[in-house]
Structure 1
Amino acid sequence: MLSLVPMRAETSDKAEIVTQMLFGECYDLVARDGNWVRVKLATDGYEGWIDHKQHNPVTSSYYQEWASTKHPRVMDLVQVVTGNDTRIPIGIGSYLPFFDGMSIRVNDETMVYNGRASNSTASATTAQLVKIASNFIKAPYLWGGKSIFGIDCSGFTQQVFGICGYQLPRDAYQQVSHGEEVHFVTQAQPGDLAYFSNDEGRIIHVGIVLEGQTIMHAHGEVRIDTLDHNGIYNAERKRYSHNLRIIKRITF
């Protein structure tokens, strides 16, 4: 069990990180290739290769129970879970399998967790969503990242909405299929998702709309910039960094 496991595009430590597996997350075993294991996350169906030394198998009965249960998520920036002879650091957004208010269960091991946890049975309000998002401010940008110590634009939105109880797909071009369109930027509300495209029209970026036509997004770091009908304006660089394509509103 680890706090974070990189999932790679190919069977090499030098290969691109396509996403990360969070503590407490389950996955299907898809294939093996030497010292590498190809896995498919149970949460969003994303696939990638992990080092076999980071492979932590669970029983089929545990997997089925895990997949049919909605699990709380870590709300503190950094916490620890403690077992009989194990102490694992975990970050915000990590899963807390079968959390009972004091302990979690990972396969056949029970571990203690004393931090804050999300409410897996209640939908978050817009104010709560924005507050959770603000925890990621200044998190450095990392392609394929999903943690407070490195995160990309769609990893950021997936994490925030996941903590709030709504499962988004992994990538921005997949996420854009969720929600109802908001036709004008002036009608956007906090918590809406704004999507941005490249010159070919492909969705390549996403962020969370805030009050006052501003947006929180991962670009170099998780930061807040101005949003208008053209896109994201970076006041520090005095130029637009992303071209607005569409705004979507997700109702929990």
Structure 2
Amino acid sequence: MKSIAKRAAATKTDRTRFRLQGRSAVLDKRIHAIRSDLADVSLAGVLFSAHYAQAAEMSCVAPGTPVRAGKSLSAECVSQLLRGEIFHVLDVNAEWAWGFCGHDGYVGYVRREALDVREIATHRVTAALAPVFAEPDIKSRIVDAWPRGSLFPATSEDAFLHCAEGYVHSRQAAAVETAETDWVAVAERYIGQPYIWGGRGYQGVDCSGLVQTALGQCGRAVPRDTDLQREGIGNPLPDGAALQRGDLVFFPGHVGVMVDETQMLHANAFWMATVIEPLADVIARLKPDHDQPVLARRRIDS
């Protein structure tokens, strides 16, 4: 009788135990919106989650805002949103929104106050910093200032672009469909900007942020982090091939863009700035700590 009871109990346990069937997937949480309690509904066919959510699109209305690894002001800044860029919100409360960036799918937390209803941008800031004037007059009060790459909806009004916040001078912005054509020239415009971890041009920029934003202004969407860029941008160069303008050189946790066959432009923590310097100098600095300073060299098709 005991054995029958044990078998019956085991059968009951088996019937009530939950089992997942099918394949499982290990996804990069930097670019797949997954938490222990919630996931993007687009991942429902790939992994199990206790809850799924459909993303709602919102626009960044601050000049720029950090994308953080956690919902705390002390959490690591993993990227930035610029004014007008889209954030896909999956979870939100009074202070924080969790979701992913529209331009690259990067996941994180953004302050709720930096987001508002979805806008349809018509213009992009092309100046290093574009003042937003209260009136269509350069002598009027400045109500805000937006960094290069910012997006906004506006209508033309003489020499100005009229937007919800005020007026941007038309010489400091261009229509969104007017993409830049020389991405290295765009990257060179960031020379002198401070190096900021996670930066994409708001108050500063980091190495992969520089590459991403410069290419983005030429209409080319690329990943956010150096390891993702190393696998996802361009084609590998054969050993011994001469470098040329626009080639990317990847190091451990770092990337730079060649402006010619010997000089490299990069945002870096050594100088705490965006600079051009000899590639040979960068390699020499890294050699004491890395057996292989250069991990890859890649060429982007024109």
Q: TM-score, normalising length from structure 1? A: 0.77
- Out of 114, 128, 138, the position equivalent to 1:77 is 128
Q: Do residues 170 (structure 1) and 219 (structure 2) align?
A: no
Higher RCO, 1 vs 2 (CA within 8 Å, ≥6 residues apart): 1
CA, structure 1 residues 104+45, in 2 after alignment: closer, same or farther (shift >3 Å)? farther
Match of 1:21 in 2: 81
Structure 1 residues 224, 110: closer, same or farther in 2, change over 3 A?
A: closer
Structure-to-structure mapping, 1:43-192, within 5 angstroms? 43-58=103-118, 62=119, 66=120, 72-82=123-133, 87-97=143-153, 102-103=160-161, 109=164, 111-114=166-169, 115-117=171-173, 120-121=176-177, 124-125=180-181, 128-147=182-201, 149-176=203-230, 177-184=232-239, 186-192=241-247
Contact 1:207 1:216 in 2 (8 A): yes
Shift of 1:216: 0.6
Match of 1:205 among 254, 260, 281: 254
* CA gap 1:48/1:191 in 2 versus in 1, 3 angstroms: same
Does the CA contact (< 8 Å) of 2:249 and 2:257 recur in 1? Answer: yes
Distance change in 2, residues 1:73/1:34 (3 Å): closer
Report the CA distance between 1:57 and its aligned residue: 2.9
Residue 24 of structure 2 corresponds to none
The offset of 1:123, in angstroms, is 5.7
Following the alignment from structure 1 to structure 2, what is the Cα–Cα distance between the partners of residues 72 and 247?
34
**Is 1:225 aligned to 2:281, yes or no?**
no
What are structure 2's unaligned runs of at least 5 residues?
Answer: 1-60, 136-140
Deviation string 1:159-185 (CA, Å, 9 cap, x unpaired) is 111122212111111112121222246
The structural deviation recorded for 1:91 is 1.0
Which ranges of structure 1 fall in alignment gaps of 5 or more residues? 198-203
Alpha-carbon contact 1:29-1:39 (below 8 Å) kept: yes
**TM-align CA RMSD:** 3.1
Displacement of 1:50: 1.6
Report the secondary structure of 1:168's partner residue: coil
Contact 1:83-1:111 within 8 A present in 2 as well? yes
How far residue 206 of structure 1 moved from its aligned partner, in angstroms, is: 0.9
Q: Deviations over 1:18-76 (max 9, x none)?
A: 11110111111111356221131111111211222223233xxx5xxx4xx8x653221
Aligned equivalents of 1:12, 1:88: Cα separation in 2: 25
- Equivalent residues of 1:122, 1:165 under 8 A apart: no
Please say if residues 2 and 88 of structure 1, whose CA atoms lie closer than 8 Å, have aligned partners that are also in contact.
Answer: no
Q: 1:175 to 1:37 in 2, by over 3 A?
A: same
Q: Which has the higher strand share?
A: 1
SS in structure 2 opposite 1:141?
coil
* 1:214, distance to aligned residue in structure 2 (A): 1.3
Question: For 1:25 and 1:173, how far apart are their aligned partners in 2?
Answer: 23
Q: Distance in 2 between matches of 1:248 and 1:12?
A: 37
AA paired with 2:161?
S
The code of the aligned residue for 2:207 comes to C
Per-residue displacement from partner, 1:107-159 (whole Å, max 9, x unpaired)?
A: xx47532133356446644xx33322222112111111111632111111111
CA contact (8 A) 1:118 1:164 kept: no
- Report deviation, 1:97: 4.1
- Paired with 1:29 and 1:104, the residues of 2 have a C-alpha distance of 28
Q: Which amino acid aligns with 2:235?
A: E
Partners of 2:143 and 2:165 within 8 A in 1: no
Q: Distance in 2 between matches of 1:240 and 1:119?
A: 46
- The reply to whether residue 41 of structure 1 matches residue 41 of structure 2 is no
CA contact (8 A) 2:62 2:115 kept: no
One-letter amino acid of the structure 2 residue matched with residue 209 of structure 1:
M
Alignment match, 1:200: none
Q: Is the 8 A contact 2:68 2:78 kept in 1?
A: yes
Aligned residues: 229
